[in-house]
Copies of this chain bind each other. A is one copy, B any other.
Amino acid sequence: MENTVIEPEHSESACKGTLRPIRDALDILNGKWKLPIIVALTFGEKRFSEIAKEVDGITDRMLSKELQDLVTNGLVQRTVEETFPVKVTYSLTPHSKSLNEVIEALRKWGLLHKSYLVNRDR
CA–CA, A104 and B25, complex, Å:
11
Q: Is A99 an interface residue (CB 8 A)?
A: yes
Q: Are A21 and B54 in contact (CB under 8 A)?
A: no
Given A32-B30, A43-B11, A107:B16 Cβ within 8 A: no
Q: Is A95 an interface residue (CB 8 A)?
A: yes
Copy number in this complex? 2
Q: Chain A's interface: helix, strand, loop or mixed, by majority?
A: helix
How many residues on the A side are at the interface (Cβ–Cβ under 8 A)? 49
CA–CA, A35 and B29, complex, Å:
13
Q: Are A113 and B35 in contact (CB under 8 A)?
A: no
Q: Are A101 and B107 in contact (CB under 8 A)?
A: no
Q: In the assembled complex, which residues on chain B have CB atoms less than 8 Å from the CB atom of A113?
A: 24-25, 28, 73, 95, 98
